[in-house]
Amino acid sequence: MKKKVAFYTLGCKLNFSETSTIARSFVDEGFNRIDFSEVADIYVINTCSVTENADKRFKTIVKQAQKINPEAFVIAVGCYAQLKPEELADVNGVDLVLGATEKFNITSYINDLTKNDFGEIHSCEIEEANFYVGSYSIGDRTRAFLKVQDGCDYKCTFCTIPLARGISRSDTLENVLQNAKEISEKGIKEIVLTGVNIGDYGKGEFGNKKHKHTFFELVQALDKVEGIERLRISSIEPNLLTNETIEFVAKSRTFVPHFHIPLQSGSNELLKKMKRRYNKDLFANRVSKINKEIPHACIGVDVIVGFPGETEAHFLETYNFLNGLDISYLHVFTYSERDNTLAAEMEQVPKNIRLKRSKMLRGLSVKKRRAFYESQLGTTRTVLFESENKEGYIHGFTENYIKVKAPWNPELVNTLHQIELTKIDEDGVVRIQFAEVFSINK
């Protein structure tokens, strides 16, 4: 009988793309992939270490796997596995820990599925993570995550990603286009470009530090791939989001009007302490350029609260800066100390103050999202419906990332429809009737 394997992914879109690729390697080796809630012979957990909460969740996921099948072989991969392999190996029930490069050869490490008394570790020095492995997710969601870049050469004082993933390096343009074509041929309507620092695309494309292509050239090439309905850019650094890219998206056949740009702080003093490569004026200029070229665009912003040395004045500067920007929502991260980072050695903000400030910014995000949704009422947008039945409703997203819902109907799954946005429901999403879905169908 085929051995059964299940996967659980913590963290970012990049992790989801890599989990899907690792899962396909198991299927190619004759394994049967099942849901994580089912009884499996092997459970693979793809870890994240961006926040303290992601670290803690790992132990909870291991316990879940053990509860389902105490005899199952448990494997940890991902960023946390590279940064702290010994810590993961000590977790009760973990049998194997694989680092940044080893995870892509996972099936070669599982000849014997006998439970171990102690977790076995195979982890490279991060300097050895200098080659590129392409990935993309299919079969898990309506949209696919396409990895185009990995690693980062930035030295932000709060971040461990360069320690977990290594130097910045890119897939070849030819491979990216081929992967995009394969995804579109499987009937997936939307592709999300992902990586650690995707605006740095082209560096290390052929194994050296020079740029063979630029991110803008990647965008231009992908726009010409036949069969792709939608392309979405995931998080991109403001200093790498060029005016020519924004102008191209405004006229693009496939790229949707949605940008997610990390700010981290609205204080130039803190941005300097973070070793970010821009100031607030540059950030404001990028937002202004997007709104000028694409007035209906959705703009999401990452922000960190409670960074070491953040005073009340710094926080209010950030709050007021964000409040004055024409943006659509925030992703708020409460700062947590990461080992082996410069920020961890700085004077820390008390955790109760961090949480208070986080709550204030989350409230601002709700206000911003509501205002953006209200600004789009009365317009006609194209909705891509997803596959999950949530309490009798099917949900989807417009091209400019407005969440909508309609009464559940399986015929709508993975289909695109033009919808007039008319009403915001009590749960903060735009609600439409089933009949309206087909009234002005694309």
Kindly tell me if the per-residue pLDDT of 269 is higher than 80: yes
Q: 7 near 32, Cβ under 8 Å? A: no
Query: What is the structure's pLDDT at 142?
Result: 77
Q: 405 near 432, Cβ under 8 Å? A: yes
Which of the pair, 129 or 69, is modelled with greater confidence?
69
**Mean pLDDT, residues 202-230 taken together:** 87
Query: What is the structure's pLDDT at 115?
Result: 83
Query: What is the structure's pLDDT at 140?
Result: 56
Kindly tell me if the per-residue pLDDT of 207 is higher than 70: no
Query: What is the structure's pLDDT at 208?
Result: 62
Kindly tell me if the per-residue pLDDT of 406 is higher than 70: yes
pLDDT digits 0-9 by tens, 366-380: 999 999 999 999 999
pLDDT digits 0-9 by tens, 2-19: 899 999 999 888 889 999
Pairing of strands 329-334, 298-305: parallel
Distance CA 246, CA 234 (A): 14
Query: What is the structure's pLDDT at 440?
Result: 40
Helix axes 243-251, 215-222, angle to 10 degrees: 10
Query: What is the structure's pLDDT at 141?
Result: 63
Q: 130 near 169, Cβ under 8 Å? A: yes
Residue type for position 177: L
Domains of the chain and CATH, by start = 4-124 (3.40.50.12160), 129-256 (3.30.750.210), 380-439 (2.40.50)
For 250, residues 6+ apart whose C-beta sits below 8 A from its C-beta are 257, 293, 294
Kindly tell me if the per-residue pLDDT of 1 is higher than 70: yes
**Mean pLDDT, residues 325-347 taken together:** 95
Share of the chain above pLDDT 90, in %: 71
pLDDT digits 0-9 by tens, 97-117: 998 889 988 998 988 888 887
Q: 115 near 95, Cβ under 8 Å? A: yes
Least reliable range by pLDDT among 85-89, 107-111, 123-127, 171-175: 123-127
Query: What is the structure's pLDDT at 441?
Result: 43
Q: Which residue has the tokens 């980062």?
A: 152
Which of the pair, 155 or 140, is modelled with greater confidence?
155
pLDDT band for position 442 (50/70/90)?
very low
Helix axes 215-222, 173-185, angle to 10 degrees: 30
Which of the 8 DSSP states describes residue 255? B
Query: What is the structure's pLDDT at 434?
Result: 59
Question: Which sign does the torsion angle of CA 156, 161, 164, 165 carry?
Answer: negative
For 352, residues 6+ apart whose C-beta sits below 8 A from its C-beta are none
Query: What is the structure's pLDDT at 209?
Result: 67
170: which strand partners? Answer: 149
The closest of 161, 163, 249, 234 to 199, measured between CA atoms, is 234
- What is the pTM (predicted TM-score) of this model? 0.90
